[in-house]
Amino acid sequence: MATPMLIGIAGGTGSGKSTFANGLKKLFPDEITIISYDNYYKAQDHLTMEERVKTNYDCPDALDTDLLVKHLRQLLSGECVDVPNYDFCIHTRCPEVTRLCPTPVIIIDGILTFHDERLRELFDIKIFADADADERILRRLRRDVTERGRDIDGVISQYVSTVKVMHGIYVEPTKKYADIIINGGRNSVALDIVASRIKRKLGK
């Protein structure tokens, strides 16, 4: 198999990164693998639940970027990798891992996908999902309450204390590295543009 095409999708919380990635996956279900950067949050088994809740999850130090870089390089070399699984209800990694083998296209999505130069150098296409801050907090609120077992007050507190601040410091500045900036995840024109590049990659 030819070397996989790597697509990085960055952007703030609730900006539509996963929506856009899944839109591409629907067009090429057998050729695309999506890796969530969120699964590379560091294990926190050594901390109490109270300490885990207080962790700042929106700064680079919270993520095991070294492992993600290693895994992407292995996938580019044709090797399979064991991707960690992160449980957001208990704020640490699960014992189980997910075995992933290379596919023609691999998408990595996460808020800090473009922060590390080592990652940026690996991507064939860099996409930044932009969205109004009010829209993003509403999407995050819905997701964290329905999917991650959080309460509304906790989500709001985390957003005000760390998410909003870290977005300005670490996420927003990486927009300058993007090849394409999209407004939300349901951008059909951008989807068509990226899909055309993928088709060329696949020889379709």
118-172 pLDDT, tens per residue?
Answer: 999 999 999 999 876 656 666 666 776 677 766 677 666 676 667 777 888 899 9
Query: What H or E segment, with its residue span, contains residue 193?
Result: helix 188-202
Question: 58 near 170, Cβ under 8 Å?
Answer: yes
Average pLDDT in the chain = 88
**CATH 3.40.50.300 is the classification of domain 5-139+157-163+176-202:** yes
The model's confidence at residue 76, banded by pLDDT at 50, 70 and 90, is very high
Burial of 50 (C-beta count, 10 Å sphere; 0-12/13-18/19+): exposed
